[in-house]
Amino acid sequence: MTTPAYASSALKEAFASLRRDLLHDDGPRISTMRNYRFAIVHYDPSEEFPLRRELLGLSEDLQERGWRILPISLQSLFLARLRAEGEEWIQWLIEIETEISADDREAGIRFLRSKITPLMEGPDGLAADCARAIDEHAARHPADVDHTLALIGRAGALYPFFRSSALLRHLDGRPRIHQVPVVLFYPGERRGPTALSYMGILDPDGDYRPRIYP
């Protein structure tokens, strides 16, 4: 797969719309629902690096306007959870997966999913780690909550062990988070008004309340 050198028109449109809504005169307007500050920017997985360049430009622009930017890497949170299980567990996981995959690669992947996915999904998984990061940041800078932006990225690094459809739903309802705009960068395809297919491979999930850009 060839990585494009420049962002597509769709990706540029998504960031232009997001920037405009974040800088609305009456405060961030990234959602059509009152008191709901969650949004998704979906992009083709091949545009990971153009996305990062667009994201850097947006972050620098907002910081110049007095915003605080909180980047959250799902990949880093995932690796931290693996390390927390201990070196012996990780080595055991590798050995068993290698043994199973020697006869059946798909069976090896299913084994990894059965052990890794429970560490990441649900309200106590990566969503809890994201919430903790946002809560701690908001507690350190309470006066800047309305001009703080949490950017959740690197979701593609978790394929095929994680579905992000529930991530924002598990973040919803937490007091500080409700005041902080949160944007999830989603590698995949849009299928209809509200459905997204993770990496363009998994079956579409239509359980999305947030606004989807572009």
Q: Is residue 207 part of a domain?
A: yes
68-73 and 182-190 as β-strands: parallel, antiparallel, unpaired?
unpaired
β-pair partners for 38: 182
Q: What pTM was computed for the model? A: 0.89
| Domain ranges, residue 188 | 9-74+120-213
In a domain, 52, yes or no: yes
**Is residue 110 one of the residues assigned to a domain?**
no
| pLDDT score for 3 | 65
Do residues 22 and 149 lie in contact, with contact meaning Cβ atoms separated by under 8 Å? yes
**Residue 205 falls inside a structural domain:** yes
pLDDT at 174: 63
Which CATH number do you get for residue 172?
3.40.50
Which tokens hold the place of 79?
């690796």
**Within a domain: residue 36?**
yes
- Structurally, the chain folds into a number of domains equal to 1
**Residue 14 forms part of a structural domain:** yes
Q: What confidence score (pLDDT) does residue 173 get?
A: 61
Using the Cα atoms of residue 106, residue 109, residue 115 and residue 117 in order, give the sign of their dihedral: negative
Asked whether residue 91 is assigned to any structural domain, the reply reads: no
Which regions of the chain are under pLDDT 70?
Answer: 1-3, 5, 32, 34-35, 165, 173-178, 206-208
